[in-house]
Chain A
């Protein structure tokens, strides 16, 4: 199984500041055939299902604000939330879809100061 490890487990950020979440996979999630990273980011607010934010490691899902950005390749990835808003308070998960079993990071809780 590919193990996904996120850091930190939680962070508190002032409104308007930047939040950075890291995700490391235990093996590369790049497909040689298309050079794409099979890595997604989700946002989960209390009482709601996860919501897809980013796929292919860096492509925003339709309707996702551009303050959310993804970067990285291979085994190391980052989700950045610039200009943090109150509505961004949530738990964020990375997930690999390179192979099965699909696996998620343990989650990073983002709170506002």
Chain B
């Protein structure tokens, strides 16, 4: 059973960089795509972007200028960096796996709340 676990600081200062890591266990990262998705408190879901096990990426255009994703298959983890954060970036951040069937999100982490505040 694949499991995903997000980790990282729960509080980031405005204009700082939000950095999160997702650890994958119970399965190989190959040949999958891996996404980050966020959810502001009490609101809906927003796709942030994905990274393939090969390292190729695709980002949401709304965040692209501030976003970097990376992957370390030797450690079975992938990461998110979002720069120049504001209060609007406060959200629960989820990592998720794309299914091998077609790309729907079949496994999700429990999510981690990141608050942007001074």
The chain A residues found within 8 Å of chain B, CB to CB, are: 36, 38, 40, 42, 48-52, 55-56, 61, 93, 95, 97, 100-107
Tell me whether chain B's interface is mostly helix, strand or loop, or mixed: loop
Chain B interface size, under 10 / 10 to 19 / 20 to 34 / 35 or more: 20 to 34
In the complex, the answer to whether A103 meets B47 with C-beta atoms within 8 Å is: yes
Contact B104 A55, beta carbon cutoff 8 Å: yes
CB A106 to nearest CB in B, in angstroms, measures: 5
Q: Does B102 contact A (CB under 8 A)?
A: yes
Query: In this complex, what residue of A is CB-closest to B110?
Result: A49
A93 touches B45 (CB 8 A): yes
Docked Cα-Cα span, A104 to B94, in Å, equals: 14
A42 contacts which chain B residues (CB < 8 A)? 105
CB-CB under 8 A from A49, the residues of chain B are: 94, 96, 108-111
Is the Cβ of B102 less than 8 Å from the Cβ of A102? no
| Distance in angstroms between the alpha carbons of A95 and B111 in the assembled complex | 19
What are 19 of the A-B contact pairs (CB < 8 Å)? A36-B102, A38-B102, A40-B105, A49-B96, A49-B110, A50-B105, A55-B99, A55-B106, A61-B106, A95-B45, A97-B103, A97-B104, A100-B50, A101-B60, A102-B35, A102-B47, A103-B47, A104-B47, A107-B45
How many angstroms between the C-alpha atoms of A50 and B41 in the bound complex?
14
B108: chain A residues at CB < 8 Å are: 49-51
Contact check, B105 vs A38: say whether CB atoms are below 8 A apart.
Answer: no
Q: How far is the CA of A61 from the CA of B94 in the complex (A)?
A: 20
Residues of A within 8 A of B104 (CB): 38, 40, 52, 55, 95, 97
Cross-chain contact A50 with B102 (CB below 8 angstroms): no
Is there an interface contact between A107 and B44, defined as CB atoms closer than 8 Å? yes
User: What residues on B are CB-neighbors of A52 within 8 Å?
Assistant: 99, 104-106
Q: Does B72 contact A (CB under 8 A)?
A: no
Q: In the complex, A52→B46 CA distance in Å?
A: 16
CB of A101 within 8 A of CB of B94, answer no
Q: A104 to B44, Cβ gap below 8 A?
A: yes
Q: Is B99 in contact with A106, judged by CB distance below 8 angstroms?
A: no
In the assembly, what is the distance between CA of A42 and CA of B99, in Å? 14
Q: Which residue of B lies closest to A41 (CB)?
A: B104
